[in-house]
């Protein structure tokens, strides 16, 4: 997505968020018993978000098309891939547990960043996928006594 | 003399095996983080935060602070040997450090880096110890009005100076202030913006936000950048890394000027170590009898910026420890660490947790000395780690992030939140929205709201109360001048152009 379009979309989202914050703040009570209530601070913060985002939107709209070229292009899709992989790993936690889920996540994220897999990369990522979750298990599960999620295999 | 006694007691208390190990772990992580592609000290401290909060408070903070000042030593190694700055504060070191290495003087440049870092760090530490206690004693007289003025000033400075676009800086700040409001109202406990979620009712966990913004966000941004190419190997001997006293004497004024500039600039919120290196480099060149050597391998061009960034890293801790106001991303995360271990930074901390503060300052001294030897020993490793494949490194860091974030409150919801803030951090980086004002808004937002509303409740809603106390009034006027000066300058320039066009 071109940076200019993303800039406009973010500004529009922030304007909507600002309006929402102001709207909710009025419900919380701007002034309660003659002193500032729970809605006082959010009201001004929300208003600030709206005004600043309108100015940012105006600046983004003033930019010529293509004035700010997207230098990252398709590379940004890797970010989407990693976010999806992490989301799937989180959804799989109750079944796989922390160790197995992260053990599978490591090679998947590695392949996404690497843009593929070859023998040399596989020889490095597989040991990392095995050793890293085990090391984390010992640091967090044993040393720091964190009750890690275990899956159907009991690990 | 009083502070010297406290400091000596602090250094003595820090000489425990557990604390020494925490310092060692912190500074080594800092050294490595500073040379890893795409990650800075803020990311290192943020990722380590959930790991160490389970430890004893002094150990946890010694490790976290070690990452911060350790990072200032390591970044210059790749600047000198490879011409690739490990982090932003070591960009200026490339200008003369790398030409020196290409001329076969890599050892001289590296030893000056270590020496300058130690000298700047020591200067910053002496000033930190000397100034912090006095500032904290002075700040004890500050009420909510003065604290409001101070926070407004710090947040304004960070929003304007922390990025390329002040409007986006303020928008990020406002977003951070709102995120800080999610959960229970700080005065009356009224629930706000929780949307029926019990998780949101207790507020968003600061460390999860920090890991998302600075850890995942920076990783996402780094993977979209082209990988580094291995460059010409620079040769050096360990013997050449031993600091040369003659070079020290030759660069003494550059080291001193760099340290002073680093300290003065570093103490200002939002300006940071990078600006201090640029200024100190320019000053070193200005005062040099042979300025034409700069950029071609002048050792003063390594000494001044390295002294400055190390001095700045300790100066940045003064507003954090004395006023409870962080001025940068890393100090904001450090403040998050202090809050997580149950300590509220500010003037009261020097009275209520005096032993903790002085022991922590003692760890800084030990860490600074340890870094001299560790940096020299680890130079070959640091120079090669920059080329470790991101496809191997980043999945392992993401694995640590997953375990670390889950360990905060043992909640899967935190894992979703860290992803949301990771994406937000990435989008902000792409669109030049600075993340520092956002994180400061999250940390300081509840404190600012409490101070504003308490003041207004006490004054029955009279806004003029903020202008009736001299310190608060001075700070508000300074903030207004700082914000309005660029607009006035632009207006005068437009007026002059208009007048010239008319005549």
**Does the pLDDT of residue A112 top 70, yes or no?**
yes
Question: Can you give the residue range of the structural domain that contains B154?
Answer: 2-227+239-468
- Bridge partners (DSSP) of residue B183 are B192
| Chain A CB contacts of B460 below 8 Å | 34-35
CA dist B361 → B122, B307, B465 (Å): 12, 19, 37
| B480, part of any domain | no
CB B84 within 8 A of CB B228: yes
Tell me how many degrees the CA angle A87-A90-A92 measures, rounded to the nearest 5: 110
- A87 closest CB neighbour out of B181, B396, B419: B419
B463 contacts chain A (CB < 8 A): no
pLDDT reported for residue A73: 64
How far apart are alpha carbons B410 and B397 in whole angstroms?
19
Q: How far is B501 from chain A (nearest CA, A)?
A: 25
Q: Are B118 and B326 in contact (CB under 8 A)?
A: no
Residue B60 belongs to a domain: yes
- Asked if B159 and B169 count as a contact pair (C-beta separation under 8 A), the reply is yes
Task: Say if CB B70 and CB B367 are below 8 A apart.
Answer: yes
- What is the signed CA dihedral for A67, A68, A71, A72, rounded to 10 degrees? -130
Q: How do residues B40-81 score in pLDDT, each as one tens digit?
A: 788 888 888 888 887 888 999 999 999 988 888 887 887 888
Dig out the tokens for B487 from the structure: 């607009």
Interface touch B399/A106, C-beta < 8 Å: yes
State residue A15's pLDDT score. 97
Cβ atoms of B408 and B414 closer than 8 Å: yes
Higher pLDDT: B495 or B312? It is: B312
- Taking alpha carbons only, the member of B222, B231, B224 closest to residue B37 is B222
Q: What is the pLDDT of residues B113-145, one digit of tens each?
A: 888 999 999 999 999 988 888 888 888 888 889
The average confidence (pLDDT) of chain B is 87
pLDDT of residue B498: 80
What's the pLDDT at B243?
A: 66
- Beta strand B183-184 with A35-36: parallel, antiparallel or unpaired? unpaired
Question: What letter would DSSP give residue B184?
Answer: E
| Angle between helix A76-114 and helix B412-430 axes, rounded to 10 deg | 110
Q: Which of B465, B416, B436, B477 is nearest to B214 (CA)?
A: B436
pLDDT at A70: 52
Average pLDDT over residues B366-383: 88
Q: Angle of helix B144-161 relative to helix B470-502, nearest 10 degrees? A: 30
pLDDT at position B54 is 78
Do B60 and B53 form a contact (C-beta atoms < 8 A)? yes
**Interval B260-309: pLDDT, tens:** 999 998 888 777 788 889 899 999 998 888 888 998 889 999 999 999 99
Phi-psi region of B196 (alpha: psi -120 to 50; beta: other; left: phi over 0): left
Interface membership of B450 toward A (CB under 8 Å): no
Mean pLDDT on A46-64 = 92
| Confidence label for B158 from pLDDT (cuts 50, 70 and 90) | confident
Phi and psi at residue B191, to the nearest 5°: -75, 135
Report the 10 Å Cβ neighbour count for B52. 25
CA distance B39 to B400: 15
Whether B491 is covered by a domain: the verdict is: no
- pLDDT (0 to 100) of residue B235: 66
**CA atoms of B392 and B476, how far apart (whole Å):** 50
**For residues B199 and B410, what is the distance between their CA atoms, to the nearest angstrom?**
12
Which range in A37-41, B108-112, B237-241 is most confidently predicted, on average pLDDT? A37-41
| Structural domain includes residue B65 | yes
Bridge partners of A32? A35
pLDDT the model gives residue B3: 80
CA distances from A25 to A43, A48, B171 (A): 5, 13, 18
The 3-state DSSP class for residue B192 equals: strand
What is the rounded CA–CA span in Å between residue B42 and residue B46?
Answer: 6
Contact B453 A35 (CB under 8 A): yes
Question: Can you tell me whether residue B433 is helix, strand or coil?
Answer: coil
Which residue is closest to A125 within chain B, CA to CA? B392
Which tens digits make up the pLDDT trace of B221-274?
Answer: 888 776 665 555 566 666 666 667 777 788 899 999 999 999 998 888 777 788
* pLDDT interval class at A59 (50, 70, 90): very high
Q: Residue B3, exposed/middle/buried by CB under 10 A (0-12, 13-18, 19+)?
A: middle
Q: Number of structural domains, chain B? A: 1
Nearest chain B residue to A7, by CA? B431
Both tokens of residue B338?
Answer: 């202090």
pLDDT in tens, B6-53: 888 999 999 999 999 999 999 999 888 887 766 778 888 888 888 888
pLDDT digits (tens, 9 = 90+) for B445-494: 999 999 999 888 888 888 888 888 898 999 999 999 988 887 788 788 88
**Given a cut of 80, is residue B162 above it in pLDDT?**
no
pLDDT at B344 over 80: yes
User: B180-211, pLDDT tens digit by residue?
Assistant: 999 999 888 999 999 999 889 989 988 899 99
A72-100 confidence digits (pLDDT tens): 566 788 999 999 999 999 999 999 999 99
Chain A contact present for B223, CB below 8 A: yes
Report whether B166 contacts B484 (CB < 8 A): no
Residue A32 phi/psi, 5-degree rounding, is -125, 125
Q: Do B407 and A140 touch (CB under 8 A)?
A: yes
- This complex has an ipTM of 0.94
- Domain segments of chain A as ranges: 3-62, 73-143
Q: Using CA atoms in the order B62, B68, B72, B73, what is the torsion angle rounded to 10 degrees? A: 30
Report pLDDT for B249: 84
Q: Give domain status of residue B479, yes or no.
A: no
Give one DSSP letter per residue of B318-336, joined into a string. HHHHHHS---SHHHHHHHH
CB contacts under 8 A, B 156-175 vs A, are 167-168, 170-171, 174-175
Cβ-proximal residues to A143 (8 Å cutoff; 6+ apart), any chain = none
Cβ pair A144:B190 closer than 8 A: no
């Amino acid at each position: 997505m071109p940076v200019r379009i993303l800039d406009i979309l973010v500004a529009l989202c922030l304007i909507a968020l600002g309006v929402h914050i102001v709207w909710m703040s009025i419900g919380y009570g701007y002034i309660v018993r003659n002193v500032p209530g729970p809605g006082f601070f959010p009201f001004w913060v929300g208003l600030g978000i709206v005004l600043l985002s309108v100015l940012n939107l105006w600046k983004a709209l003033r930019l010529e098309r293509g004035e700010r070229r997207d230098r990252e292009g398709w590379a940004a899709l890797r970010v989407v891939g990693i976010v999806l992989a992490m989301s799937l790993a989180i959804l799989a936690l109750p079944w796989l547990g922390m160790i197995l889920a992260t053990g599978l996540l490591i090679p998947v994220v590695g392949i996404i960043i690497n843009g593929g897999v070859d023998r040399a990369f596989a020889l490095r990522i597989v040991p990392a996928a095995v050793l890293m979750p085990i090391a984390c298990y010992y640091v967090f599960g044993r040393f720091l006594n964190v009750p890690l999620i275990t899956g159907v295999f009991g690990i | 003399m009083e502070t010297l006694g406290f400091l000596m007691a602090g250094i003595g208390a820090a000489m425990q095996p557990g604390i020494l190990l925490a310092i060692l772990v912190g500074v080594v992580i800092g050294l490595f983080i500073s040379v890893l592609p795409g990650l800075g000290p803020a990311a290192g401290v943020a990722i380590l935060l959930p790991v160490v909060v389970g430890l004893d408070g002094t150990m946890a903070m010694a490790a976290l602070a070690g990452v911060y000042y350790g990072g200032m030593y390591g970044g210059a190694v790749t600047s000198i040997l490879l011409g690739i700055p490990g982090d932003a504060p070591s960009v200026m070191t490339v200008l003369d450090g790398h030409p020196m290495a290409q001329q076969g003087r890599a050892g001289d440049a590296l030893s000056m880096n270590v020496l300058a870092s130690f000298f700047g760090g020591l200067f910053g530490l002496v000033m930190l110890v000397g100034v912090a206690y006095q500032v904290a004693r002075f700040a004890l007289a500050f009420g909510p009005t003065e604290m409001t003025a101070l926070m407004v000033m710090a947040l304004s400075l960070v929003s304007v100076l922390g990025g390329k676009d002040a409007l986006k800086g303020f928008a990020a700040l406002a977003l951070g202030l709102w995120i800080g409001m999610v959960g229970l109202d700080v005065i009356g406990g009224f629930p706000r913006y929780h949307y029926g979620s019990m998780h949101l009712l207790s507020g968003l966990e600061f460390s999860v936000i920090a890991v998302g913004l600075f850890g995942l966000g920076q990783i996402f941004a780094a993977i979209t950048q082209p990988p580094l190419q291995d460059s010409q190997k620079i040769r050096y001997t360990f013997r050449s890394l031993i600091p040369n006293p003659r070079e020290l004497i030759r660069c003494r004024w550059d080291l001193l000027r760099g340290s002073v500039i680093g300290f003065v600039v570093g103490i200002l919120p939002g300006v940071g170590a990078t600006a201090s290196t640029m200024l100190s480099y320019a000053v070193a060149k200005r005062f040099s009898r042979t300025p034409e050597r700069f950029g071609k391998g002048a050792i003063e061009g390594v000494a001044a910026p390295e002294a400055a960034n190390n001095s700045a890293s300790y100066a940045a801790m003064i507003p954090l420890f004395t006023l409870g106001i962080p001025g940068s991303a890393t100090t904001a995360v450090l403040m998050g660490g202090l809050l997580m271990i149950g300590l509220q930074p500010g003037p009261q901390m020097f009275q209520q947790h005096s032993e903790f503060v002085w022991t922590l300052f003692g760890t800084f001294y030990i860490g600074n000395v340890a870094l001299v030897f560790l940096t020299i020993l680890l130079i070959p490793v640091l120079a090669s780690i920059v080329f470790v494949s991101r496809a191997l490194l980043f999945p392992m860091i993401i694995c640590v992030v997953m375990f670390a974030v889950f360990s905060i409150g043992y909640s899967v919801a935190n894992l979703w939140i860290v992803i949301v803030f990771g994406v937000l951090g990435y989008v902000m980086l792409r669109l030049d929205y600075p993340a520092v004002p956002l994180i400061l808004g999250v940390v300081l937002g509840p404190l600012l709201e409490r101070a504003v509303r308490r003041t207004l409740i006490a004054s029955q809603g009279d806004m003029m109360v903020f202008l009736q106390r001299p310190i608060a009034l001075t700070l508000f006027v300074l903030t207004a001048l700082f914000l309005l000066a660029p607009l006035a300058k632009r207006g005068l320039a437009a007026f002059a152009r208009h007048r010239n066009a008319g005549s």
